[in-house]
Amino acid sequence: MSLELPPPPRPWPTQDGMPTTRGLNFYVADPNLEFVCSTVMEPEVLARARPLLVEMGAVAGDELDALAAAADRHPPTLRAYDERGRRVDEIVFHPAYRAMEQLAFERFGLAAMSHRDGVLGWPGRVPHVVKYALSYLFAQSEFGLLCPVNMTDSTARMLTRFGDEALRGRYLPRLTATALEDLWQGTQWMTEKTGGSDVGALTTLARRDADGAWRLWGDKWFASNANADVALTLARPEGAPPGTRGLGLFLVPRHLPDGTKNAWTINRLKDKLGSRSMATGEVTYAGAVAYVVGDVGRGFAQMMEMVNGSRLSNAMRAAGIMRRSLLEAVFHARGRAAFGGALFDKPLMRWTLLEMLLDVEAAASVVLNAAVMFDAWDAGAEAAGRLLRIVTPLAKGWITARARAVAGEAMNVRGGNGYVEEWVNARLLRDAYLGAIWEGSTTVVALDVQRAIVKDGALAPLAAFIGTRLDGVRERHAKPVTDVVRAVLADVERRAAAWTTQPPDTRELEARPVAETLYHALATALLLDEGQTLRPQRQDHHKLLVAALYARRWLVPAPPGVPAFSPSALESLERLVDWRPIGADALAAEAPVRD
């Protein structure tokens, strides 16, 4: 598909040297997103999605950004009792948050579009890849609300897959509603004081009444979207064995069918560093009525399917934060004069911006290609599910960790203003730190990658996927890059083959470096594949150069004291930012070589 890329936004120099992105259309300003969408979406899908992406880009760059700033300044509060002293556990939100809910759940239907036909006028259900592209734009202004959106989406998905007919009939229509007055938001609560990532240590107990009804007793320590109407939660049925194998998955409604409040209380709300717009609390079940979801003996396995989907959403949100951070940094550097010239033209500033750009383009490619796998898996392709099993934790592990560094660099670019809450940088940085904790810390996710390799045999399909992308690269100047990826992938395969004979402590120490290397190999292969598509369209080596520089930065790192990027690479930055054609000579000069 031939692309007609929009002209890049160019901030005019301002008298005070403080340019702002407010009012910018975040989709139109992002030729990279436009191009990646053209590679992962069928032409008819992109044609239908593009007006929606343009609309979301306009909302994210203006209305949503203002609402998000207000909601961040005015976090929710807990109203435990009403005026008559009755326990109500009501969470009171600022009007800005309610307006953002209207945008996410109602105007764009982000939580419903995977479950309900016709959302946004789509024939049938909106593909995951379109949902993730829209959410990527939304995340550039608001991170916190996408947690309730994703958890409502995930609750509906879990009920569809594992719930009985009665549960689906009662709850799915409300979880997938696109009118706020009809919507019941969902959530999933696992974390307890006894163990965060060690879910098998949880103590919430499930008991059956004489009439066979289940009731829960216990505490949940980190209950996100605490105002939800429906919670999926793990609990141990009385008499069940210890560890994760003894856990059941239960649906716990906030209100019972007769309208009475269920027996759970919100003890307090967390005072969080970031994601302040969204309510996170501490919850106690005191005999709360609950309904079994699926097989009561497979609760943990069922919940982990939800967690894997949520991890991809988490990676997408972190990728959005990185993109917004780069946008802010580029706008500031171009509009700010320092030491006799534009800040953008200073070599070390170009170095910083180039490294950010590489991370941003790689993350967008990984997330949207994973969304394509999600669509294929939903359509019944088992191979896509096996691939998604490892790609999702790879994406979550690296992108959420890297977002902290990229957001921090963007704050550094803006200087003192970046540290002031009136600008967006402080909020981006605070939100970025949560992504690496949610749904498993970076270390826990790296161990999950290792588990996917050792127990699920996931390395072979990933290596085959990467190899297919490398096989399609015909540009001769890119061959050194493909050689590097093949070499590091072969090294990972050798390391992984030895894990079964290594002591657990030795094997565990390799989990994170191997996971990070696999992410970089995947990202480079996708960038190369995109480059092979772009080159004949516009005689543009943009993506091939990005792939080469990305490999040079992460797969063949420079020795200590040696610059990661050459002066010629830094000279290409303006063309890369503006998506002006890159010649083959620039690619030839930057191809990495691995010893």
Check whether 154 has a pLDDT greater than 50. Answer: yes
Cα separation, 425 vs 403, whole angstroms? 12
**pLDDT tens digits along 360-378:** 999 999 999 999 999 999 9
Question: Residue 197: pLDDT above 80?
Answer: no
> 10: how many CB neighbours lie within 10 A of its CB?
9
- Smallest CA-to-CA distance from 220 within 246, 188, 198 is with 188
Per-residue pLDDT tens for 403-430? 999 999 999 999 999 999 999 999 999 9
Running DSSP on this structure, what letter comes out for residue 5? Answer: P
Identify the DSSP state of 291.
Answer: E
14 has a pLDDT exceeding 60: no
Q: How far apart are the first and last CA of the chain?
A: 38
pLDDT digits (tens, 9 = 90+) for 278-288: 999 999 999 99
Among residues of the chain, what percentage have pLDDT more than 70? 96
Report which residue type is found at 595. D
Best CA proximity match to 362, nearest among 585, 140, 32, 5: 32
Tens digits of per-residue pLDDT, 244-271? 888 999 999 999 999 999 999 999 999 9
- Average pLDDT taken over every residue of the chain: 93
Cα–Cα dist 130/134, whole Å: 6
pLDDT of 17 over the 70 cut = no
Residue 204 tokens, joined: 């919430």
pLDDT tier for residue 338 given thresholds of 50, 70 and 90: confident
User: Contact, 291 vs 251, CB < 8 A?
Assistant: yes
The stretch 61-89 carries a mean pLDDT of 96
Rg for the chain (alpha carbons), in Å?
24
Closest to 316 measured CA to CA, from 467, 155, 153, 158:
153
> What is the average per-residue pLDDT within 566-572?
93
Confidence of residue 2 (pLDDT cuts 50, 70, 90): very low
Does residue 1 surpass a pLDDT of 50?
A: no
Distance CA(236)–CA(248), nearest Å, equals 6
Which CA distances in Å does 142 have to 224, 370, 574? 16, 22, 28
Give per-residue pLDDT as tens, 422-471: 999 999 999 999 988 888 889 999 999 999 999 999 999 999 999 999 99
Please give the pLDDT value at position 12.
Answer: 44
Q: Please give the structure tokens belonging to residue 464.
A: 């085959």
Cα(401)–Cα(433) distance, rounded to whole angstroms?
8
At a CB cut-off of 8 Å and minimum separation 6, what does 422 contact?
none
Per-residue pLDDT at 7 exceeds 60: no
pLDDT for 295 beyond 50: yes
Q: How confident is the model at residue 135 (pLDDT cuts 50, 70, 90)?
A: very high
**What are the angstrom distances between the C-alpha of 264 and each of 78, 328, 358, 565?**
14, 43, 47, 56
The string of DSSP letters for 264-277 reads: EEEEEE---SS-TT
pLDDT digits (tens, 9 = 90+) for 537-556: 888 999 999 999 999 999 99
Report the C-alpha gap between 175 and 152 in whole angstroms: 6
559 vs 174 pLDDT, higher one = 174
| Average of per-residue pLDDT across 502-511 | 94
Q: Residue 165's pLDDT band (boundaries 50, 70, 90)?
A: very high
